[in-house]
Structure 1
Amino acid sequence: MNSNTLLFSRALRRVAPALFAALLLGLAPLRAEEAPVAQALAQAFEEQARSLALESARPADGLRVEIEVGRLNPRLRLASCAQVEPYLPNGFKPWGRTRVGLRCLSGPTRWNVYLPITVKVFGPALVASSALAAGTVLTDADLQEAEVDLAAEHGMVLTDAEQAVGRTLTRMVSAGDALRSSNVRARQWFAAGDTVRLVAIGTGFSVEGQGRAISVGLDGSQVRVRTESGRIVTGLATGEREVEVRL
């Protein structure tokens, strides 16, 4: 029995004995007088879902996590089961709206259902100080720092003014909205044909040289560069006329 299954069993045994019996006999639509049992069972599922989500979310130090657990479909009729295991896919990081699986490991019928959860991860980030239209070129006056839900949307949040100032919004943002990499235009560090500095990095060493860019250098994008010897290498545009090549 793994740790998640053990935690689940302990959670169930902390509620009324009738609840544990109800799980063994199977879940079914409940009458009004059975509501307290249903509520206790939901709490047992919620406790285990929270524990598993917190363990898997792997938030960095200083970040605050809140987890909202939804409900199983009340119309579900599940066969009796002596051992229920909550799970997430291996390596999965549950941020934002997702699901925790619940599967029967020991019963006449093996079943698998999903419990909806929302994992919120709060941390400091740059937000818009006022409503900003698409096409706005960001300045210091447009920015302020606030705690935001990092998992609320796709795209990495911007945390430093250097990441934001001078970049163009691709969509409108409201006052207080987090500024993310997904709603600003990628910074262009150089144009095709520009001379760039090449920094080749290997284990325990780095070598610098020059070359001519074959493609436009957008921040963090792969670019091709022709070296002074005529060789073509591929690297990442990392700064003003700078390309990093990993060896």
Structure 2
Amino acid sequence: MSYQLRPALRRIATLKQLLRLSLISLAFSLPAQASDQVLMDTVQQFLYQETQALGQEVMIDISPPSPHLPACVAPEPFFPNARQSPLGRVSVGVRCGEASRQVRYMQAQIDIIGNYVVAGQDIDRGTLITREMLSQREGNLGDLTAQAITQQDDIIGMVAQRNIRGGNTFQAHDLKAPQVVKRGQRVTVIAQGTGFRVSREGEALADGAQGERIRVRFDTRELVTARVVGQGTLVIDF
């Protein structure tokens, strides 16, 4: 029985392959205008999915593909830079063709109307920022600089590195994490790994903010580098 089925199975596999090749050929034979529209619609949907949670209203303007390029079969959009913020002028990569062997790039302008945080008052350099110092504003997030911080949770608890005028947005270089360890301070260093955890006291040789790595000197004059995890506490992971 299995022997009799093998020719039939081979014919089915051959028909599937021919159908796949026919669909690809059909895509290439589409009028350039129709193929470009499929590409534009696919990129539009991709950008909308990436940005719909960022604000109340999303406006996307995509530059049409070059008429000198071949049709893009089965387009798969992606951001060339995974850390790219989907705001303002952005570049979108698109994989095309069988096995996504071809890659092209398109440009788009993304404008998002939403809320962002500004200083609710003048803030002096060195001030620890609290919720009461912040205010909300609505506008086009695409008009903000790439360094602008729009969420209050990323601002509260930070320290101003320069004077900030009321009504201004917060830039990444405006803020720094507060120092939770001071140079010369007696600190606890916890060494931990699988199945063990020990602690020793030492002296911090530099100021340190949460997450920073600084050097610590023990009473034995031994020097280690440890990660700041809290007020007067550092960790060495093994």
How does the TM-score come out when normalised to structure 1?
0.58
Counterpart residue identity of residue 242, structure 1: T
Q: 2:80–2:93: 8 Å Cα contact kept in structure 1? A: no
Q: 2:80–2:92: 8 Å Cα contact kept in structure 1? A: no
1:194, 1:119 → 2: CA distance? Answer: 49
Count matched residues. Answer: 201
Q: CA deviation at 1:196?
A: 1.2
Structure 2, unaligned runs of 5 or more:
1-22
Residue 102 (str. 1) matches residue 64 (str. 2): no
Secondary structure of the corresponding residue to residue 95 of structure 1: coil
1:176, 1:95 → 2: CA distance? Answer: 20
Larger radius of gyration: 2
Q: 1:126–1:159: 8 Å Cα contact kept in structure 2? A: no
What is the identity percentage for the equivalent residue pairs of Structure 1 and Structure 2?
16
> What's the counterpart of residue 49 of structure 1?
43
Residue 86 (str. 1) matches residue 90 (str. 2): no
Counterpart residue identity of residue 82, structure 2: F
1:155, 1:209 → 2: CA distance? Answer: 41
Secondary structure of the corresponding residue to residue 71 of structure 2: coil
- Residue by residue over 1:175-213, the C-alpha shift from the partner in whole angstroms, topping out at 9 and shown as x without a partner, is 273x46532244222333221122334357644321111
Q: 1:103–1:111: 8 Å Cα contact kept in structure 2? A: yes
Q: Equivalent of 1:22, from 32, 38, 51?
A: 32
1:53, 1:47 → 2: CA distance? Answer: 10
How does the TM-score come out when normalised to structure 2?
0.59
1:201, 1:83 → 2: CA distance? Answer: 53
Alignment RMSD = 4.4
Secondary structure of the corresponding residue to residue 159 of structure 1: helix
Structure 1, unaligned runs of 5 or more:
1-8, 14-19, 28-40
- Residue by residue over 1:5-54, the C-alpha shift from the partner in whole angstroms, topping out at 9 and shown as x without a partner, is xxxx9xxx9xxxxxx62346x76xxxxxxxxxxxxx3xx54542244346
1:93, 1:116 → 2: CA distance? Answer: 17
1:199–1:175 Cα change, 3 Å = farther
Q: Equivalent of 1:183, from 146, 154, 174?
A: 174
Counterpart residue identity of residue 197, structure 1: T
Q: CA deviation at 1:112?
A: 2.1
